[in-house]
Amino acid sequence: MTAQQNNHTTPEFRSLLPGAMLFFGVVLTLAGLVASLVHNGGAEFGFAWLLAFMFYYSIALGALFVVMVHHLTDAAWSVGIRRYCEHLASWLRWPLILLFLPIGLCGHNIYKWMTLDPAAAESLAAKYPVFTIPGFWITSAVFFGIWWLLTSRLCSLSLQQDETGAAECTRKMRFYSGWGIVVFGLTLTFSGVLWMQAVQFQWFSAIYGVYFFASSVWAGLAFIYVIGVAMLRQGILTPVLKQSNFYFLGVLLLAFTLLSAYAEFAQYFVVWNANMPEETFWYLLREQGGWWNLSLILILGKVFVPFFALLPVRTKTNFKVLIPVCLLIAAMHFADLAFNILPAWHPGGHQARWIFLHVGCVLFMGGLLGWIFIKKFNAHPPYPQRDPRLLEAMGVNPHLVSDLVDANAEGAK
């Protein structure tokens, strides 16, 4: 069966959620934008948009990481999830580029350093010329250029492999994943610093890239798990999604729960014990008002609950347990990003009257990106058609198939 034939016989992935999210998101975001322009010159909108953007940006990064690890390890279990992970990673092209533009346009409200003279602040001068307005745009363009090249090549080669089954496609995807995993670490780190950590440019942390990496893959795996369950229930990926797939995803979720917790604790431990005012002010600010309560919620919801829920072997494949855990992980990841971004604008705690704006931005971006994902997924075969590990992913012994082919060929003679 060819890839094109398989695409026609497989049921399409359907969901009303993106449409509903997009409708309510547009209404709430427009209302919040107007209110923000009236009350604070658009600053509240800028921070809300940045927070929502970093949430979906990190999920796309997590999906790209899974795709590259699949090619580098030549794994069979991840064949079934590879195609929709490629579509999630493709958000890093024009969808997130367009969604990034308001951040740059509202930059003077989000990033205080954009309004300062580099010569007047030693910590800002040390980051010259990146922490200048031209440097911000050029560096951001470099990030997206790298993401565009990497994701477009991995996706196009994957679809080309469906048509030809050529071994050259597999070798090229491994090649791009080989240098891509290195560039991935660098660009993820620097983009996290430039777009998120820079809301308080005076602060720095040597482990910030590790923290952002662990949190991004952690949230990305949660989304991958939920999407996989949804597709399995619609009968789309039944040939390639088995219980073992979700078990391995659960194992990775547990691993990145620990890595994310370790990175955040290590960062706090080092900064607090060094006791240097230019570093500790970041945590002192987050001990004020509602941010202290949020930090306690994060300790419980980001570390202890997922850890003990994911620890037993059976729960990793129990959808009634893991779906709520994955939704909790998504919520805690969003709260953690808010803990990093919003205290720069609301040092005493977030104001509840602006919650609707944050909800609107998250719904709008999620609805738009979800609609793009579903449209792209339904336009192509749902899983790789000629991956070298496809038969193994389906639970078929490839050696047995080879023996049967050889036997039939000998019989024909």
Residues spanned by the domain of 363 = 15-395
* The total number of structural domains that make up the chain: 1
pLDDT bracket for residue 6 (50, 70, 90):
very low
Evaluate whether residue 2 is within a structural domain. no
The radius of gyration computed from the CA coordinates of the chain, to the nearest angstrom, equals 23
**pLDDT on residue 159:** 94
Evaluate whether residue 8 is within a structural domain. no
Whether residue 60 has pLDDT greater than 60: yes
Evaluate whether residue 9 is within a structural domain. no
Evaluate whether residue 218 is within a structural domain. yes
8 A C-beta contact, residue 325 and residue 309? yes
Whether residue 148 has pLDDT greater than 90: yes
Whether residue 121 has pLDDT greater than 80: no
Query: CA–CA separation, 259 vs 337, rounded Å?
Result: 16
What pTM, to 2 d.p., does this model score? 0.92
Of 13-22, 31-40, 330-339, 343-352, minimum mean pLDDT range: 343-352
**pLDDT on residue 220:** 96
Whether residue 2 has pLDDT greater than 60: no
Query: CA–CA separation, 42 vs 105, rounded Å?
Result: 11
Closest CA to 55 of 318, 365, 368: 365
**pLDDT on residue 9:** 62
Evaluate whether residue 402 is within a structural domain. no
8 A C-beta contact, residue 228 and residue 237? yes
- Long-range pairs for 185-193: beta carbons < 8 A, 24 or more residues apart: 185/209, 185/213, 187/143, 187/146, 187/147, 188/61, 188/212, 188/213, 188/216, 189/213, 190/139, 190/143, 191/57, 191/140, 191/143
pLDDT bracket for residue 227 (50, 70, 90):
very high
**pLDDT on residue 348:** 81
Evaluate whether residue 297 is within a structural domain. yes
Per the model's pLDDT, the better-predicted residue between 109 and 8 turns out to be 109
**pLDDT on residue 370:** 96
**pLDDT on residue 272:** 86
Evaluate whether residue 337 is within a structural domain. yes
Query: Average pLDDT, stretch 326-340?
Result: 96
8 A C-beta contact, residue 60 and residue 89? yes
**pLDDT on residue 397:** 66
Whether residue 340 has pLDDT greater than 50: yes
Whether residue 211 has pLDDT greater than 90: yes
Query: CA–CA separation, 43 vs 47, rounded Å?
Result: 6
pLDDT digits (tens, 9 = 90+) for 276-317: 887 889 999 998 888 999 999 999 999 999 999 999 999 999
Evaluate whether residue 219 is within a structural domain. yes
Mean pLDDT estimate for the chain: 89
Query: Average pLDDT, stretch 122-144?
Result: 88
Query: Average pLDDT, stretch 8-29?
Result: 88
